[in-house]
Structure 1
Amino acid sequence: FGVAFLSSGSVAFFFHFRHRKRKKKSASPVLTQTTAAT
């Protein structure tokens, strides 16, 4: 669980930062989807 959470957290942060750099609205759905998956 710890490893999975850490991995998904890193990926989520990476995508969130990447999307945030391009589009601020795109980050919301991705972040919500990741949170729902967790």
Structure 2
Amino acid sequence: GLVKSEREGQLQIYSLADSHVRSIINIGLEHVMEEK
């Protein structure tokens, strides 16, 4: 019902945020590698 769809929506938001955080970390690591 409604609760299940709401949970699925939250999971999608979490996965989107997780991938966004990962890309930010990867970009940061790339900059650190370039400095060395």
- Is the TM value for this pair above 0.5? yes
Aligned counterpart, 1:19: 25
| Larger relative contact order (Cα-Cα within 8 Å, sequence gap ≥ 6) | 1
Q: How many residues align?
A: 24
What is the aligned-residue RMSD (CA, Å)? Answer: 1.5
- Structure 1 runs not aligned, ≥5 long: 25-38
* C-alpha deviation, 1:20, in angstroms: 1.1
Deviations 1:1-35 (A, max 9, x none): 110100000000000111111127xxxxxxxxxxx
Counterpart code for 2:15: G
Aligned identity (percent) is: 0
